[in-house]
Amino acid sequence: SITEQQKAIIKSTVPILKENGKEITSMFYKQMFENHPELLDIFNQTNQKIGTQPLALANTIYFAAENIDNLQILMPQIKLIAHKHRALTIQPEHYPIVGKYLLLAIKQFLGDKSTQDILDAWAAAYNIIANIFIDIEKQLYDELGPNEEDKGFVPLTIVKKEVIAHESIVALTLERPQNGKMFKFHVGQYLTIRIRKDGNFHNRHYSLTRPFDGKSYSIAVKIENMNEIKGIVSNEIINNYNIGDTILASFPAGTFQLVENGKHHLFIGGGVGITVLSSMIHELNKQGKSNDAILIHCVPSEEYAAFNAELKSILPEGQYQLFCKDQRLGKDDLEKVLKADTQVYICGSVPFMDRIESLLVECGHPSSQIHIEAFQPTLSVIKG
Ligand code: HEM
């Protein structure tokens, strides 16, 4: 538990730490990995290197500390993170390790200004937050049933592999060998894939592109520039995994989803962001509700529009809109398709999603009806 005085200490130190969050968390990761190199198999090295993951962790602790009296308002974010943690097979025993090195980094950063009271206050806050995560993650592991093996990464067989857009996006269909148990998922969720390269595991989340058919999972992987580290997992899958091979995956996770009882749905995808929206549109179609869905897909040119033909065939005339590079999506285009009760789902790069969100705000669309699925840690991109 945490005392009133400790809350006050946290609130007064948040600004200093927030301003220097990046340095503190970089320090924290460096020392933690030196002492626990096994954790390199869990943390996404891409996000490490570009600095988004350290920020995400720091931001969460600060947000939580700032809202320690009302953590309920952070529940959607907490659930999103817990799902990601479960997908990466994070365990209760990992929390004290992260806590130890985070506090050490805070201590080192504050230097002369660090006092036992400050450190105790942060330790108390960390423990409260950690226990919330551990509880929620336990529920998520429990949902995977009694079999320990199902709670980790399991081998799935690649039964289909095909290029679906301009040599740049490859779709994979995966099944469990020997008709092993496959867990159902809801559209909007992702599959976390793990590959081994250069002595470590690397993990990456891929949106499921089809509603569950009872036996397989489909994902789409985009070829990344070979010079960019962010493509480690994707490029490895595309270059070195073929039909008949097995690949490691944990069972589907994620909190992004269709709004229940939503009347009108507008999907706005940038490039490969279409993958998650595609499964949602297929789901609405299955429920006989494709009339209520409109898709706007922004791409460099038509050949980059993955799932183009199938989505066109599902959606009524005029409700599949392709915006190619030179037709920039504007406020007018959104006003034409928005109704007061429209639920909007956006997925694409961060700059893309930012731009669309601003346009929606300009249109006066309520933020409670805007749902975004970010490719990178979401709390690292929260503004203000
Ligand atoms: C992801 C916070 C504990 C490992 C994240 C994200 C946040 C976060 C905000 C980003 C989620 C997103 O994608 O938007 C926290 C907090 C913790 C905590 C506040 C403690 C109270 C842990 C522990 C581990 C861990 C104990 C494991 C040792 C990870 C990993 C990711 C992640 C590997 C995903 C990185 C990636 O795939 O890019 N966490 N976390 N976290 N967390 Fe934690």
DSSP labels, 88-109? TT--TTHHHHHHHHHHHHHHHH
Q: What are phi and psi of 186, to 5 degrees?
A: -105, 155
Q: Is the pLDDT reported for residue 149 higher than 90?
A: yes
299 CB-near residues (< 8 Å, 6+ apart): 271, 305, 322, 323, 324, 325
| CA atoms in the 13 A half-sphere facing the CB of 28 | 26
CA nearest neighbour of 276 among 329, 321, 231, 210: 210
What percentage of residues in the chain have a pLDDT greater than 70?
A: 92
CA nearest neighbour of 252 among 328, 104, 146, 143: 143
> What per-residue confidence (pLDDT) applies to 268?
97
Spatial separation of the C-alpha atoms in residues 171 and 160, rounded to whole Å: 8
Least confident span in 8-12, 82-86, 116-120: 8-12
Beta bridge partners of 181: none
Residue nearest to atom 20 of ligand 1 (CA): 130
Could you tell me what percentage of the chain is helix, strand and coil, using 3-state DSSP and rounding each to the nearest 5?
Answer: 50, 20, 30
Residue 259 burial (C-beta neighbours within 10 Å; 0-12, 13-18, 19+): middle
Q: State whether CATH 2.40.30.10 applies to domain 149-253.
A: yes
Residue 59 CA: which ligand 1 atom is closest?
9
Instruction: Please give the span between the terminal C-alpha atoms of the chain, in angstroms, as a whole number.
Output: 29
Q: State whether CATH 3.90.1150.170 applies to domain 4-142.
A: no
Least confident span in 33-37, 71-75, 116-120, 165-169: 165-169
Length of the chain: 384
Domain boundaries, the chain: 4-142, 149-253, 264-380
Q: Are strands 154-165 and 246-253 parallel, antiparallel or unpaired?
A: antiparallel
This model of the complex carries an ipTM of: 0.98
The CATH code that applies to domain 264-380 is 3.40.50.80
Q: Is 47 in the pocket of ligand 1 (CB under 6 A)?
A: yes
Q: Is the pLDDT reported for residue 45 higher than 80?
A: no
Same fold: 4-142 with 149-253: no
Q: Is 58 in the pocket of ligand 1 (CB under 6 A)?
A: no
Spatial separation of the C-alpha atoms in residues 152 and 88, rounded to whole Å: 8
Query: Residue 87: how many CB atoms within 10 A of its CB?
Result: 22
Which residue did the predictor score with more confidence, 350 or 292?
292
Least confident span in 89-93, 162-166, 267-271: 162-166
Q: Is the pLDDT reported for residue 381 higher than 50?
A: no
Q: Identity (one letter) of the amino acid at 64?
A: A
| Sequence-ordered strand ranges (E) for the chain | 154-165, 169-175, 190-197, 200-207, 216-222, 246-253, 264-270, 293-299, 320-324, 342-348, 370-374
Q: Is 45 in the pocket of ligand 1 (CB under 6 A)?
A: no
Beta carbons of 65 and 11 less than 8 angstroms apart: yes
Sign of CA dihedral 354, 355, 356, 359: positive
Q: Is the pLDDT reported for residue 342 higher than 70?
A: yes
Beta carbons of 291 and 318 less than 8 angstroms apart: no
Confidence band for 113, pLDDT divided at 50, 70 and 90: confident
| CA atoms in the 13 A half-sphere facing the CB of 154 | 21
> What per-residue confidence (pLDDT) applies to 377?
55
Which residue did the predictor score with more confidence, 295 or 40?
295
Q: Is the pLDDT reported for residue 358 higher than 50?
A: yes
263 C-alpha to center of ligand 1: Å? 34
Beta bridge partners of 193: 204, 249
> What per-residue confidence (pLDDT) applies to 66?
74
Name the residues annotated as catalytic. Answer: 95, 137
Give buried/exposed letters for 141-150 (b at 16+ CB in 10 A, else e): beebeeeeeb
Mutation pick for ligand 1 pocket among 35, 48, 50, 53 (CB with most ligand atoms within 8 Å): 53
Q: Is the pLDDT reported for residue 50 higher than 70?
A: no
Secondary structure class of 346 (helix, strand, coil): strand
Mutation pick for ligand 1 pocket among 59, 83, 98 (CB with most ligand atoms within 8 Å): 98
Q: Are strands 293-299 and 370-374 parallel, antiparallel or unpaired?
A: unpaired
Give 266-315 pLDDT, tens digit per residue.
999 999 899 999 999 999 999 999 999 999 999 998 888 999 999 999 99
Q: Is 314 in the pocket of ligand 1 (CB under 6 A)?
A: no
Spatial separation of the C-alpha atoms in residues 56 and 22, rounded to whole Å: 10
Spatial separation of the C-alpha atoms in residues 55 and 18, rounded to whole Å: 10
Structure tokens at 315: 């959606």
Spatial separation of the C-alpha atoms in residues 222 and 238, rounded to whole Å: 8
327 CB-near residues (< 8 Å, 6+ apart): none
Run of H or E including 278: helix 274-286
Give 210-264 pLDDT, tens digit per residue.
999 999 999 999 887 765 656 788 999 999 999 999 999 999 999 999 999 899 9
